[in-house]
Amino acid sequence: MREKLPNDFLNQIAAKLPNKKYRIGYPITQNSALKDFYKWVLDSGLCDGVLNNVGDPFAPHEYIINSLDVEREVMGFFAPLFGYERDEFWGMITTGGTDSNNHGIYFGHSILKKHGKPIMYVSREAHYSNYRLADLQGIELRFIDTDESGAMSVSDFSAKLDSSRPALIVFALGTTFKGAIDDQRAINEVIKSKNPPAVYRHVDAALLGGLLIFDKRAEHLINQKELGYDSIAVSGHKFFGIDEPCGIFLCQKSVYEAQKSFNISYLHANMPMIECSRSSFTPLKLYWILNHYGISGFKAEVEKIHENTLYLKSCLDEMSYPAWLNADSNIVYFARPQSALMHKYFFAPDHDSRLGGELAHIVVMGHVDRDIIDEFIADLKESLK
């Protein structure tokens, strides 16, 4: 056995990474603002030990080899942007959008099951993690059809809603491929008229949640007070540019309080969350990023993304290339180009026969600027000659 693995291998891997400007097919910003963070980790001495966020950031904690206080600050920054009042929410930093969805579905199910056997409703274009999690948690799942834009069909929901059983609704606030936003208001109207015995609403806003909280025009799509959802999930490594998977999870305090508590004396906590150990590093990175941009910096970033998204769509329209863009989304989806382009730009494939078949998309994140859009459009024109 080798005593030591050669670092040459890591250098080779680093050298092989493609130019980041071409990474435009996935919802991950490539503008990392963490260089100075790593310097701080070295300078502060933090790198000399290992922290671990075991416990509830909002419960008193005596064990201090963690960053729970920073985590609580980060959640305190986010909560009002979603419309929560100071003492009305509970939240934590998770391992990603999936983990945040897992908590939403788990918390919701544990409340609903007191009223009968729940059914979970989610659209066919929502993120697959929701299907997987329903399976994992043993929850009966009912798929709702989508309209062409990718949003949950309100009429299909109405037809499939079983008014005799508790309903767990997972709304897509931005479907993964088309960026479609389920109409919470219209679906809430259906729920009101059918009146199931109990309802829990979880919002999967993995990508768009990060952008829309900084967009005044979109407040009606994200504000908890206006929409009345019970919990929401957002990824930390998509819009916020954290360089490892992480997410935020927020819920009404009453949801948190309704969870079964296991009093764990050696942790001084009742541990409502699924994981025991959680990262101490991601709260530090999120805190760093929030400080780096500030609200005004994020607003400028969102405005830039909005303009570049419209620009990309207008370039495709100008050449009469089949392309679509949902309102309030930063995802332009279009007829799938030649495979050389699929590879060059790391495009993800999808299929929708209602839109002519094979599709691809560009997710306009902070690093997707006019230069790369122009290069793609030139390549696309060339490929059609």
Ligand X SMILES: *Cc1c(COP(=O)(O)O)cnc(C)c1O
| Helices (H), ranges, 173-280 | 184-194, 208-212, 219-222, 224-227, 253-257
Nearer to ligand X, 172 or 212 (CB): 172
Please report, for residues 91, 119, 194, 209, 338, the alpha-carbon distance to residue 253 in angstroms, rounded to integers and kept in the order given: 9, 23, 27, 20, 50
Query: Is 252 near ligand X (CB under 6 A)?
Result: no
366 binds ligand X per the rule CB under 6 A: no
Alpha helix ranges (H) inside the chain: 8-16, 35-44, 68-81, 97-112, 128-136, 154-160, 184-194, 208-212, 219-222, 224-227, 253-257, 281-318, 339-344, 370-384
Among 55, 97, 166, 283, binds ligand X (CB under 6 A): 97
CA distance 64 to 16: 40
Q: Is 174 in the site for ligand X (CB under 6 A)?
A: yes
Which among 65-73, 90-98, 330-338, 368-376 is the span making contact with ligand X, rule CB under 6 A?
Answer: 90-98
Q: Closer to ligand X at the Cβ: 57 or 247?
A: 247
Among 61, 103, 127, 285, binds ligand X (CB under 6 A): 127
CA distance 117 to 160: 16
Which tokens in the block code for residue 365?
A: 């994140």
Q: How far is CA 266 from CA 62, 68, 245, 271, in A?
A: 10, 16, 28, 11
Query: Where does this chain touch ligand X (CB under 6 A) — which range of 40-48, 154-162, 168-176, 287-295?
Result: 168-176
> Could you say which of 57, 91, 96, 210 contacts ligand X (CB under 6 A)?
96
Q: How many residues bind ligand X (CB under 6 A)?
A: 15
Q: Which is nearer to ligand X, 240 or 334 (CB)?
A: 240
247 binds ligand X (CB under 6 A): yes
CB atoms within 10 A of CB 86: 8
Q: How far is the CB of 211 from ligand X (least distance, A)?
A: 12
Residue 204 interacting with ligand X (CB under 6 A): yes
Q: Which is nearer to ligand X, 97 or 118 (CB)?
A: 97
The smaller minimum CB distance to ligand X, of residues 96 and 196, is found at: 96
The window from 202-210, 273-281, 297-305, 347-355 that contacts ligand X (CB under 6 A) reads 202-210
**Phi and psi (nearest 5°) for 233?**
-120, 135
Least distance CB 107 / ligand X (angstroms)? 17
Q: Which of 204, 230 has the CB closer to ligand X?
A: 204
Candidates 207, 273, 284, 289: give the one binding ligand X (CB under 6 A).
207
**Structure tokens belonging to residue 313:** 């769509």
What φ, ψ does residue 382 adopt, rounded to 5°? -60, -40
Whose tokens are 């949902």? That residue is 326
Rule CB under 6 A: is residue 206 a binding residue for ligand X?
Answer: yes
The residues that touch ligand X, with contacts defined as CB under 6 A, are 27, 96-98, 127, 129, 172, 174, 176, 204, 206-207, 235, 245, 247
